[in-house]
Chain A
Amino acid sequence: MAEMTMIQAINQAMAQEMERDERVVILGQDVGKNGGVFRATEGLQGRFGEERVMDTPLAESAIVGTSIGLAVNSFRPIAEIQFLGFIYETMDQISAQAARVRFRSAGRFTSPIVIRSPYGGGVRTPELHSDSLEALFAHTPGLKVIMPSNAYDAKGLLISAIRDNDPVLFLEPMKLYRAFKLEVPDEVYEVPIGEAKVVKDGEDVTIVTWGATVPLAQKVAEEAEPRNISVEVIDLRTVQPIDLETIVQSVEKTGRLIIVHEAVKSAGVGGEVASLVSEYSLFSLASPILRVTGYDTPYPVPSVEDDWLPTAPRIHAAIEKVMEF
């Protein structure tokens, strides 16, 4: 078993799946010779050839739309969108096309594609590189949305996504690409789509989070311990579909729920989680459900982004509030 960064794990997942299944192809801008702007596809074109790792013209709609055609005609494409903020260009091809092929044809055709894209802030990118747009896609029936938070999950979830018979949006927190290493098995393994993971046990407060904010929530949970507040942290891992059972089980134990995500607050996945808990487990709650999120502004300029993103003090304040309620 080797220690790996998330980007290395992602690279290995794709390499191993391409090795196993010749229907798996990669397409996107700069994915070939350059190996992707973050090097996620590094070495793959050299190993599998230009017909399986294809540099495309700079056209997001074309990258996804062409992937749909490839999938319909028996391939398993992995499309790369260079930064999530560029995904608006292909909104139609994802939400109105890929996600609906199965429904529109009543099962005659399907679109098993994976769309990979780096997302998330804290890395000083220019405008429209850092946005967290998972809510836009969680609202699309027929699409699955995965957001891993570490190397082990990223590999297993990506392999599951490639093998999945539905279109999957796979969002990779760019801040965590190389933030830390984890032991990742060399062999091929799957992490099931749609299953959350309790990454820290606790008794007093549940924090539900995903992607880039998972390590932050874990850190806050540890910091709360000396104050005798026991925080349970759930890494959602898949935001569509949501693993309601794991959340409800935890909230029934702790009685308090805080949701932490980078995306803007309004109409987001956090609101969905809160709504589900109130629908399925209202009377287990001892306090209101709180959200610690990005603010409802466009993703801000680099000089202020650190204070815009959820921070440890903001999460601590939320913990105080639910504990004192």
Chain B
Amino acid sequence: MYDEKNLNHEMVQFMDQYGSLLHDNIDLNDSQLLEIYNWMLKTRLFDEKMVRMQRQGRIGTYAPFSGQEASQVGSTYAMEKDDWIFSSYREIAATMVHGLPMQQSILYAKGHMYGGQSPDKLNIFPIQIIIAGQTLHAAGCALASKLKGENDVSVSYFGDGATSEGDFHEALNIASVFKVPSVFFCQNNHWAISVPLHQQTASQTIAQKAIAYGVKGVRVDGNDVLAVYHVMKEALESARNGEGPTLIEAVTYRQGPHTTADDPTKYRNNDEVNEWAKKDPIDRFRTFLNKRGLMDEDKQEKMKGIVNEEIEKAVAEAESTDRVTVDKAFDYVYDKPHKLLLEQQEESRQFLTIKEGR
């Protein structure tokens, strides 16, 4: 007899809420710790900048990730260069840590034709809008790596809402049956737009869903970057060793709205938001670094200055990138466009000429 109440729901934690270490052995040196902090700070400031830019009408609809930096930075920092990322729209920090240039994310947010074109050799698939669709692409990509005898792991990122979708279940199932090198990384940020977790799933945790598919399930404090790094490292290693996929549930919180078009005050109370603000992943990690003598206010301000400069530079680059006209849209429908499509492309060019008064 299976008893839901007797499942072990332990949550992996390396630091407590006040930045005190709960484990002795962290396998990260001081410069790595500072690098991780730098990423968290950079992506937070980037996120805030994007929200402001949306309000100024400089980018389109944007999905903020503030509050989820530990989950994203910690997990991606554990990955190897050739590993694959299949993400949703809320994983900009993860893709940045893996190597996606900042201006690329800005171009995407600006609705630029080439926003989804990641640089050659960078194994980052374009952002997925359809919830959970990417979990299957990652499973297939991992199957390819396995068949080729390559060592890469394919990681899919998704939110708690995605765990209700059929594709999530089909992906876990097929990845497990084929024992592919894959990690399913769920950022449980507690809200799928306005629907809270308890209305999303009746199971006690998301990690426990792994049991049904015969894969490992891990629940980790998603605001504890050291814990996330550690569990991700283990999951990647296990995938590389041929032990199949792991489902990681990183328990975190989306501090802002679902997107810039959403008003969370309609469905979420302030007490909850304030409670989670106390668990902010960046504050916690900074306290930890302070205690370790690696960070102080001066260093923090200096770092902030450098990071802000980098963000402004990326914004300037993105904003000075040439606009693309609609006729370019026809170039990427087929390998070679068919005749009727070419006729439409020509028509679009004619109307562009008229519009520009040429």
Binding site for B on A (CB under 8 A): 25, 51, 54, 56-57, 59, 61-62, 64-75, 77, 92-93, 96-97, 101-110, 141-142, 144, 164-166, 194, 241-242, 244-245, 276
Q: Report the minimal beta-carbon distance from B175 to chain A, rounded to whole angstroms.
A: 9
Q: Which A residue sits closest to B178, measured CB to CB?
A: A54
Distance in Å: Cβ of B162 to nearest Cβ of chain A: 13
B167 lies within 8 A of chain A by Cβ: yes
Q: Which of chain A's residues have a CB closer than 8 A to the CB of B120? A: 108
Of the residues A69, A165, A245, contact of B137 by C-beta under 8 Å: A69
**Which one of A69, A103, A241 has the highest number of Cβ atoms from chain B below 10 Å of its Cβ?**
A69
**B239-253, CB under 8 A of A: which get 1 and which 0?**
000000000000000
Q: Is the CB of A93 within 8 A of B145?
A: no
> In the assembled complex, which residues on chain A have CB atoms less than 8 Å from the CB atom of B334?
102, 142, 144, 166
Verify A65–B333 contact, CB threshold 8 A.
Answer: no
Are the CB atoms of A59 and B130 closer together than 8 Å? no
Known: A106-B116, A107-B332, A108-B118. A69 touches B142 (CB 8 A): yes
Q: How far is the CB of B184 from chain A (nearest CB, A)?
A: 13
Whether A241 and B174, one on each chain, are in contact in the complex, defined by CB atoms closer than 8 angstroms, is: no
B138: interface (CB < 8 Å)? yes
- Bound: A75/B113 CA distance, A: 27
5 nearest CB pairs, A to B: A69-B140, A65-B136, A73-B144, A66-B140, A241-B338
> Which chain A residues border B299 with CB–CB below 8 Å?
none
Q: Tell me which residues across on chain A come within 8 A of B84, comparing CB atoms.
A: 73
Report whether B141 and A70 are in contact in the complex, using a CB–CB cutoff of 8 Å. Answer: yes
- The tally of CB-CB contacts under 8 A between chains A and B is 136
User: How many interface residues does chain B have, given as a range?
Assistant: 35 or more
Interchain CA distance A108-B122 in the complex, whole Å: 10
Q: For A25, what are the chain B residues with a Cβ–Cβ distance below 8 Å?
A: 147
In B70-122, the 8 Å CB interface with A consists of 84, 86, 113-114, 116-118, 120
B116 touches A72 (CB 8 A): no
A70 to B84, CA, bound (A): 12
Contact B141–A73 (Cβ < 8 Å): yes
Complex Cα gap A109–B204 (Å):
38
Contact of B133 among A65, A70, A194, A241 (CB under 8 A): A65
If A59-B173, A72-B125, A194-B338 touch, whether A93 touches B136 (CB-CB below 8 Å) is yes
23 A-B pairs with CB atoms under 8 Å apart are: A56-B174, A56-B177, A59-B173, A61-B167, A62-B173, A65-B135, A65-B136, A66-B136, A67-B140, A69-B140, A69-B143, A72-B137, A72-B140, A73-B144, A73-B154, A101-B126, A102-B332, A103-B329, A105-B116, A108-B120, A164-B335, A165-B335, A194-B338
CB of A68 within 8 A of CB of B136, answer yes
Report whether B170 and A61 are in contact in the complex, using a CB–CB cutoff of 8 Å.
yes
Contact A57 B170 (CB under 8 A): yes
Indicate which residue in B130, B139, B178 contacts A92 across the interface (CB closer than 8 Å). Answer: B130
CB distance from B355 to the nearest CB of A (A): 23
Chain B contacts for A102, CB-based, 8 A: 332-335
| B137 and A59 contact, CB distance less than 8 A | no
